[in-house]
Amino acid sequence: MPQINNSNSLDKIVALCKRRGFVFPSSEIYDGFTAVYDFGPYGVELANNIKKEWWRTMTQLRDDVVGLDSAIFMSPKIWEASGHVKGFSDPLTECKKCHTRLRLDALLEEAGIFADEKMSEEKINQIFSENKNKIKCPICGASDFTPGKKFNLLVQSNLGNFTNDWAKEPTYLRGETCQGIYVNFKNVLDSARVKIPFGIAQIGKAFRNEITARQFIFRTREFEQMEMQYFVKPGDDLKYYEEWKAARWKFYLDLGIEEKNLKWHKHENLVFYAREAYDIEYNFPFGFKELEGVHARGDYDLTQHSKFSGQDLQYLDPATNEKFIPHIVETSAGVGRIFLAILTEAYQEETIESETRIVLRLSPKLAPIKIAVFPLLKNKPELVNKAREIFNVLKISWRCEFDDNGNIGKRYRRQDEIGTPYCVTVDFDSLENEEVTVRDRDSMKQERIHISELERFFREKI
Ligand code: GAP
């Protein structure tokens, strides 16, 4: 029996991501670009599989949620209406010694003092000055900081503005995807034959000028969100809220995350319009942190957009003829955070006969490569041709990889590290009896299977 070591440090996961082509630091050949990352060949497959599962769960398996893909750039008025231009900020401080800019709430939290980004500037500065001597700069260790001030996280651009002082009237890269959903509420209502309660789901990029960027892809300045806004009759909020909480919890269990590594975090400092807000947290290598938010937002969003656009965004209930602004239950998750949670969950080191095997025990539906096909030897054309034939058939149904490099043991280890659930090896016996070896990633057990049976076998397993 192999000895299993589950102590996953972030460093090990970062190293695996680089070594095996899951995640690369952005612009690396130019010394990098802080808080932005690129997904490599296996990373893009894993991220796509996460998005596919979310989209399938949210739209295909429900008849009350439709999809949308709104543009990243929108009228700047949207960000005024939503409150982002005035209030989308984090408290910023600067270390007077090394001039590193830091998030004040995070500094306090690290020192074990309760604070969060939604607190007012006065409140957080008061807590800061009461605890000044307990807080040290994580870079140089000094404890001399500038007073906290709010720093707006919206990222600005000159899109569509051809003057040199565009910064006076900037357009914004969206800070969250859900605003594109709110402003299309009426379009969807008028075109998609939906009735309340119904939801609109969207996956897309969002941008935030995050002050501190640490913990790998957990907090980045460019990231992808998967958001769903569920429109309900006023008064029904909390009923649907509970349903969505249960549905979102189950989603993570279905991805293969162990329940002990998940927990709910209730927001104590609600923004004024919110009725209820919980986060699902995951036990990352740096502790339990937010994976997804489930929020009951009341009628704030549609009321604001109604006010600022001058359009009537009320819903006319066809059964009762009542008119009302729908209330919203939101579920909002980050692709990068789920990606990191999935890797943390799947990463294992096993000691087998004094050798270490690194294996990603990914659920087959998430694995970047489902089946790897090998000829036993590279220099035997009859083996290579047979393996190619099998690969060409299997690749039609599953994402497969052909590999004839190095010895079989090394090829298995490589596939273990990228989480491939099955490897198929063609050997000399295969040429005689049409049977191949299928090796299981988790148990490492091998069985002989007739080539004509392979598709049926994998259809059952994957
Ligand atoms: N529309 C609500 C909203 O955007 P949020 O809590 O700010 O709420 C939702 O973000 C989710 O988006 C988070 O739970 C997280 O998964 C992801 N997210 C937010 N900021 C992020 C960042 N800087 N980097 C990576 N993911 C982020």
Burial grade of 330 (CB within 10 A; 0-12, 13-18, 19 or more):
buried
**pLDDT at residue 1, as a whole number:** 56
Note whether 49 and 35 are within 8 A (CB): no
Query: Which is the CATH superfamily of the domain at 369-461?
Result: Anticodon-binding domain (3.40.50.800)
C-alpha 197 to ligand 1 mean position (Å): 25
C-alpha 333 to ligand 1 mean position (Å): 6
**pLDDT at residue 56, as a whole number:** 98
C-alpha 342 to ligand 1 mean position (Å): 17
**pLDDT at residue 115, as a whole number:** 79
Alpha-carbon distances of 258 from 8, 65, 120, 196, 342, rounded to whole Å: 15, 27, 36, 34, 10
Residue 334, ligand 1, Cβ within 6 A: yes
CATH topology identical between 3-74+164-345 and 369-461? no
CATH classification (class only), 89-152: alpha beta
Domain coordinates in residue numbering, the chain: 3-74+164-345, 89-152, 369-461
- At 135-186, the pLDDT tens digits run 888 889 998 899 888 999 999 999 999 999 999 999 999 999 999 999 999 9
Query: What single letter denotes the amino acid at residue 118?
Result: K
Residue bearing tokens 């923004």: 271
Residue 208, ligand 1, Cβ within 6 A: yes
Residue 200, ligand 1, Cβ within 6 A: no
**pLDDT at residue 264, as a whole number:** 98
* Residue closest by Cα to atom 21 of ligand 1: 219
In tens digits, the chain (462 residues) has pLDDT values of 555 555 568 999 999 999 999 999 999 999 999 999 999 999 999 999 999 999 999 999 999 999 999 999 999 999 999 999 998 998 899 999 999 899 888 888 888 888 776 677 788 888 888 888 888 888 899 988 998 889 999 999 999 999 999 999 999 999 999 999 999 999 999 999 999 999 999 999 999 999 987 799 999 999 999 999 999 999 999 999 999 999 999 999 999 999 999 999 999 878 888 889 999 999 999 999 999 999 999 999 999 999 999 999 999 999 999 999 999 999 999 999 999 999 999 999 999 888 899 999 999 999 999 999 999 999 999 999 999 999 999 999 999 999 999 999 999 999 999 999 999 999 999 999 999 999 999 999 999 999 999 999 999 999
- At 94-150, the pLDDT tens digits run 999 999 899 888 888 888 888 776 677 788 888 888 888 888 888 899 988 998 889
Query: Which is the CATH superfamily of the domain at 3-74+164-345?
Result: Bira Bifunctional Protein; Domain 2 (3.30.930.10)
- At 208-224, the pLDDT tens digits run 999 987 799 999 999 99
C-alpha 196 to ligand 1 mean position (Å): 26
Query: What single letter denotes the amino acid at residue 318?
Result: P
**pLDDT at residue 6, as a whole number:** 54
Question: Alpha-carbon distance 358 to 447, whole Å?
Answer: 22
Residue 281, ligand 1, Cβ within 6 A: no
Residue 105, ligand 1, Cβ within 6 A: no
* Residue closest by Cα to atom 22 of ligand 1: 219
Q: What is the 3-state secondary structure (H, E, C) of the chain?
A: CCEEECCCCHHHHHHHHHHCCCEEECCHHHCCCCCCEEECHHHHHHHHHHHHHHHHHHHHCCCCEEEECCCCECCHHHHHHCCHHHHCEEEEEEECCCCCEEEHHHHHHHCCCCCCCCCCHHHHHHHHHHCHHHCCCCCCCCCCECCCEEEECCEEECCCCCCCCHHHCCEEECCCCHHHHHCCHHHHHHHCCCCCCEEEEEEEEEECCCCCCCCHHHCCCEEEEEEEEEEECCCCHHHHHHHHHHHHHHHHHHCCCCHHHEEEEECCCCCCCCCEEEEEEEEECCEEEEEEEEEEEECHHHHHHHHHHCCCCCEECCCCCCEECCEEEEEEEEHHHHHHHHHHHHEEEEEECCEEEEEECCCCCCCCCCEEEEECCCCCHHHHHHHHHHHHHHCCCCCEEECCCCCHHHHHHHHHHHCCCEEEEECHHHHHHCEEEEEECCCCCEEEEEHHHHHHHHHHHC
